[in-house]
Each structure stands twice: as structure tokens, then as C-alpha cells.
Amino acid sequence: MLFLFRHKAAALSPFMLLLLGACAYVTPSQPAAPPLPALAKPAPFSAADAVFVQKLNTMDLAQIGMANIARTHAARNDIALVGETISKDIGVLQARLAKVAAAHALTLPAQPSGPEQKQIERLQRWQGAAFDRHYIRYFTATHAKIKPVLASQIATSQNPDLVAIARDVQTRLADYQAVMR
């Protein structure tokens, strides 16, 4: 009798597998997955925005280089402290600017260009009060050059990230200049 049971079990096994397999296809289907959200498009970026980003990057790199020198060459303690603050603050703004540029496939240099590097090297020759005079003169001239560019960017750009960066730079430069007087 045990033989018959084994025989029936062996004969029923393929039938059971077929039945179980069919039940798997009859189960209710899961709801369709919702569509993926559209990729967020970066804010519009015009040719003027690209020029602004490049100008600001050039100025930022020069400011960071000069500020690093000010930390060690300044006679006035407030200029040394402003140099340290500029180095940190502009470094953070530089990272934000690089992120916006990368979103628009714009590559920014990481080192100052030739004229800015020469200016940094010239300033590095000075120490004490002479350094302070030259640094303040350089900073004032740079601020005067970039001020209308920042104002124009704030007024005309359609890119809210660049407008925010321009406002931050404008505010910080005015604060630094107030301390250096």
C-alpha cells in the first residue's frame, strides 16, 4: 500500500506544481507605478549670465588670493581679520558659483588668471603699513569695477541663483569696505 501511495504522490506532484503555478498568474496585479517626476531644469542661463559668472569667478579668485596674503602681511589687525573673513566668505560663495556653473556645463578655472596672479605677486612684496595702503587701494578699485556688474546682474538676470549670489557678494563687499576705511 505504501507503494501505491508513493506512486499516486509522484503522479500528483506535477499536477500540483502546475496548479500552483497557474494560481500565481491569477493573483491580482499590483497597480502601475506612477510616472517619474520630470527632471528639474536649471533656471535659465543667458550669455550675459555666463559672462557674469566668469567675471565674478575671476574676481573671487583674486580676492581670495589677496585676502590670504592680508592675513600675514597686514599691519592693522582689522585688515588681517577682514582678510580671514573674506577668504572664508568668498570661498563659500565661490562654491555656490561653481555649483551653478556646473549645472549649466560651464567650467570655471580654479586659479587666478595671469593679470590677477601678477597683482597678487606684486602685493605679496609689501609688508605692514605699505601693504595696508596697497591692499585697501586694490580692494576699493576692484569693488568699484564689480559694483555696476553686480547691480546689472541683479536687475536683468532671469536666474534666481545668480541673482542671490550677486546680492550676497554686493552686501559682503560693502561690509568689507566699511571695515577697511
Percent of all residues in the chain with a pLDDT value above 70, rounded to a whole number: 80
Q: Are 63 and 86 in contact (CB under 8 A)?
A: yes
Percent of all residues in the chain with a pLDDT value above 90, rounded to a whole number: 52
Confidence of residue 57 (pLDDT cuts 50, 70, 90): very high
Q: What would the 3-class secondary structure string for 57-123 be?
A: HHHHHHHHHHHHHHHHHECCHHHHHHHHHHHHHHHHHHHHHHHHHHHCCCCCCCCCCHHHHHHHHHH
The three grid cell numbers given for residue 136, joined into one nine-digit string: 585697501
Mean pLDDT of 25-48: 70
Q: What is the pLDDT of residues 74-101, one digit of tens each?
A: 999 999 999 999 999 999 999 999 999 9
Q: Are 162 and 49 in contact (CB under 8 A)?
A: yes
The three grid cell numbers given for residue 68, joined into one nine-digit string: 590670504
| pLDDT reading at 151 higher than 90 | yes
The three grid cell numbers given for residue 151, joined into one nine-digit string: 547691480
pTM exceeds cut of 0.75: no
Neighbours of 124 (CB within 10 A): 15
pLDDT, position 125:
93
| pLDDT reading at 25 higher than 70 | no
What whole-number distance in Å separates Cα of residue 115 and Cα of residue 123? Answer: 12
pLDDT, position 32:
79
DSSP assignment, residue 145? H
Mean pLDDT of 132-155: 92
Q: Are 146 and 55 in contact (CB under 8 A)?
A: yes
End-to-end Cα spacing for the chain = 110
CB under 8 A, 24+ apart: contacts of 82-90: 82/176, 82/179, 82/180, 85/176, 86/172, 86/176, 89/172, 90/60, 90/63, 90/64, 90/172
